[in-house]
Structure 1
Amino acid sequence: MAKPTAVILFGGRSSEHGVSCVTAGGVLAAIDRERWNVVAVGITAQGRWVHVSDDPEDWQIVDGAMPTVGESGDTVVLPRDAGEKMWRVISADNRVSDLADVDVVFPLLHGPWGEDGTVQGALELVDVRYVGSGVLASAAGMDKQFMKAAFRDAGLPVTPDVTLLRGDALDDHMDDVRTLGLPLFVKPARAGSSMGISKVTDLDELPAAIAEAVKHDPKVLIEQEVVGREIETAVLETAEGAVASPASEIITADTHDFYDFEAKYLDPDAVVLRMADDLESYTAARIEQIALKAFRAVGAEGLARVDVFLSEDGNITVNEINTMPGFTPTSQYPRMWAAAGTDFATLVETMLSTALARPLGLR
């Protein structure tokens, strides 16, 4: 039988463009070319879809610089009609030619215009199967305000916060902000990879922190600091249902105030991922159950990473769910599964196979 064709889709218009490209490099290196025909499609920072190299070496961090999807290359065109599988390209001289009959897409996009349900909606419109969560779950997972609403409705504990919408005056919310206490974390509501996040130890620092967050999103969250261990759990959907990896702990070096962008991607010595072996079995089981409950609360599919805080008194607070976690060499999701005995190639195969078997339409 002919091999199915998988499109690896990455880049995008968000501030996480470079992270998405490095994620794609990880997946392109791990995918089984004997099992899959692979087509790489990049989305430029301006939003053009282009046919790009599928060589993982072209999508690596070099001397601290993130790779980017360039403007050169043929423009990729999705099918016009539901059920049509052929993707096409338009050359610089406007010639249209067939690219590939596409069976499944792996949308390795982070942030708005990709991870937030927009690309998922485009694929749904033309009946293209894809890895990961659908439109609503992707949107809810991206927007921390609505993510927390879903978690609260499911009975999950979340970090207290104040949300500022576009045009809101900070002075109108200061009474609520003061009740949160200090320190505070100010973050864009719809961004990831710790983009635009600031730690505030004095209320006079708030305007500058909000201005930094607004560079990434006009909606801003001001969150109470939660003191505790940062614990992450990877969730993977298999043919038998969703399963959670053993809990792992993020330990950030003293050179970083918190688990920021540089610690995540640019400083290999900044973070240690340690399997939380010292957790009591009851606590470890609770964290894994909470991760699966968070997965269900937003209606996630395929995969997700759930981050929680564990306080000294044993309380667990859900920080966030990431419906398309990174797959860079330093990313926690594949490292957690590797520590549990599932290698990167097996992860990629499971995600693509599960997506390929998924029914089209409403699920």
Structure 2
Amino acid sequence: MKTKLGLLYGGKSAEHKVSLQTALAVINALDHEKFEIHPIFIMETGEWIKGPLLDGPVETVAALQFSRGEALPPTALAPTLFQAENKNESFDIIFPLLHGPNGEDGTVQGLLELLNLPYVGNGVLASSAGMDKVIMKNIFAQAGLPQVNYVWFIRSEWEQDNNSAYEKVEAELGYPCFVKPANLGSSVGISKCSNREELVEAFKEAFQFDRKIIIEEGVIAREVELGVLGNDNPECSVAGEIIPKVEFYDYKAKYEDGDTALVIPADITKDEYELLYGLAIKAFKSLDCSGLVRADFFLTKDGKAYINEVNTMPGFTPFSMFPLLWKHTGVEYPQLIERLVKLGMERFDEKQKIKYTI
């Protein structure tokens, strides 16, 4: 029997296009003899469209974007949306290939929990906490994980007294610093600031993408990442290093120009790797993660490590850091997808043991 796999992709997010590329890569990597693949496209406006059963690879993302005439708002989801071709059967598991808000942040995970459907990846808590960089960093601080200094603001606070916001950044962090939307990934809306003028423009840019922003102290360090895979007993991949050819690893460098080099495995010592491994597992467990995360670190010349963030649905094409890390660890892309599906089913089965009646 084939595994009936529902793929959720697109999404009402600034990372919509990234999600489409992820979906295309996953569909073409899956073994169509093992999986019955059902695409569910979420438009940028929020409507959901269930596409036809896929019986083979797809050439372009255009083939995964279905007609608006078939769309439904999430509030009017048809009972058949999460059913397989046989209307009496639901999907075996859902794979949310969604990056950013309205997909990676616990909202879709909450819907799937209410429907009691198995799904791949992190649950509601880990997804929502991992999406909000402020909440994530506060949890990491409570867990005793080393981090660079940071401050954060909501839009109304900044609008009422922007000079005080700028002064707080300068007093507590100084320059250079990085301004980021709190709830976004793929380096969207991020700016590096070296003076007040750049800081002002960075606040304006970041607040276009979120009502909350975070500002982090700049450090002179290497950017090293590990992939984490598992549920209650996670394990780490080899380490990889990002070496941007531009000033920092922004959206354009990631997805448009290719102005970056990924070095896998990273040239680090055994002690440095073991340090990062321990911190990555601690971060994974502190957020109660499951399935997968990519843990991102700053590593200084004197061997100090600071956790930057974890990404609960990292870039997932064959050329993205997370799959490449696991490829160099011995897990090829199709195997990685199948392993994640298995982990999602195992977590679902484990949660069915919970008693809900007294």
User: TM-score, normalised on structure 1?
Assistant: 0.88
Distance 1:76 1:203 in 2: 46
Structure 2 CA distance, aligned partners of 1:258 and 1:225?
Answer: 11
- Counterpart position of 1:263: 253
Q: How many residue pairs end up in the alignment? A: 343
The structure 1 segments of at least 4 consecutive aligned residues displaced by more than 3 Å after TM superposition are 52-56, 67-81, 97-100, 360-363
Q: Percent identity?
A: 39
Tell whether 2:49 aligns with 1:74.
no
DSSP-derived class of the 2:180 partner? strand
More deviation in 32-41 or 301-310?
32-41
Distance 1:100-1:19 versus aligned 2 partners, 3 A rule: farther
Aligned partner of 1:64 in structure 2 is none
Matched residue type, 1:163: W
Confirm or deny: 8 A CA contact 1:246 1:288 kept in the other structure: no
Query: How far apart, in 1, do the equivalents of 2:174 and 2:353 lie?
Result: 44
Deviation of 1:52 after TM superposition, in Å, equals 3.2
Aligned to 1:218: 211
Does 1:343 pair with 2:332?
A: yes
Native 8 Å contact 1:117 1:138 kept in 2: yes
Matched, 1:87 2:87: no
- Equivalent-residue separation in structure 2 for 1:76 and 1:357 (angstroms): 31
- SS of residue in 1 equivalent to 2:68: coil
CA contact (8 A) 2:177 2:194 kept: yes
Describe the SS at the equivalent of 1:345.
Answer: helix
The answer to whether the aligner puts 1:186 opposite 2:179 as a matched pair is yes
Return the match for 2:117 from 121, 128, 150: 128
Q: By how many angstroms is 1:79 displaced?
A: 12
Task: Work out the CA distance in 1 between the residues paired with 2:51 and 2:111.
Answer: 20
Q: Name the counterpart of 1:39.
A: 38
Distance 1:27 1:11 in 2: 13
- 1:327 match: 316
**1:188-267 equivalent positions in 2, closer than 5 A:** 188-237=181-230, 241-253=233-245, 256-267=246-257
Distance 2:221 2:352 in 1: 42
Shift of 1:99: 9.5
State the 1:76 CA deviation: 6.6
- Aligned residue among 160, 177, 181 for 2:169: 177
- Aligned match of 2:293: 304
Map 1:10-29 onto structure 2 (within 5 A): 10-29=9-28
Partner of 2:147: 158
Q: SS of the counterpart of 2:338?
A: helix
Q: Distance in 2 between matches of 1:68 and 1:271?
A: 29
Deviations 1:187-228 (A, max 9, x none): 100000000001111112222111111111111111111210
Structure 2: unaligned runs, 5 residues or longer = none
CA deviation after TM superposition for structure 1 residue 165, in Å = 0.9
Q: Distance in 2 between matches of 1:288 and 1:73?
A: 49
Contact kept? 1:50, 1:75, Cα under 8 Å: yes
Q: Secondary structure at the match of 1:149?
A: helix
Question: What SS class does the counterpart of residue 165 from structure 2 fall into?
Answer: helix
Tell me the distance in 1 between the aligned counterparts of 2:298 and 2:217. Answer: 12
1:57 to 56, 59, 65: 59
Q: Does 1:288 align with 2:277?
A: yes
Q: Distance between the aligned counterparts of 1:164 and 1:68, measured in 2?
A: 38
Aligned-partner Cα distance in 2 for 1:271–1:251: 6
Matched to 2:236, the amino acid is A
Q: 1:118 to 1:191 in 2, by over 3 A?
A: same
Asked whether the equivalents of residues 45 and 69 of structure 1 are also in contact (C-alpha less than 8 Å), the reply is no
Distance in structure 2 (CA, Å) of the matches to 1:118 and 1:296 = 21
- Offset at residue 80 of structure 1 (A): 10
Query: Quick check: which one's helix share is greater?
Result: 2
Q: Is the 8 A contact 1:5 1:37 kept in 2?
A: yes
CA contact (8 A) 2:47 2:74 kept: no
1:258 Cα deviation after fit: 0.7
| 3-state SS, counterpart of residue 56 of structure 1 | coil
TM-score for both structures, normalised by structure 2: 0.89
**Secondary structure class of the residue paired with 1:127:** coil
* TM superposition shift of 1:267: 2.2
1:57 deviates by: 1.9
Q: For 1:273-324, what per-residue CA distance to the aligned partner results, in whole angstroms no more than 9, with x for missing partners?
A: 1124531111111111111111111111000000000011111011110000
Alignment of 1:105-120 (within 5 A): 105-120=94-109
Check the 8 A contact 2:94/2:120 in 1, yes or no: yes
| 8 Å contact kept, 2:39–2:64 | no
Please give the secondary structure, in 2, of the residue aligned with 1:186.
Answer: strand
Larger deviation, residues 309-318 vs 323-332: 323-332
The unaligned stretches of length 5 or more in structure 1 are 61-66, 90-96
| 2:133 corresponds to 1:144 | yes
- What is the SS of the residue equivalent to 1:349? helix
> RMSD of aligned C-alpha atoms?
2.6
2:268 is equivalent to residue 279 of structure 1:
yes
Contact 1:30-1:345 at 8 Å conserved across structures: yes
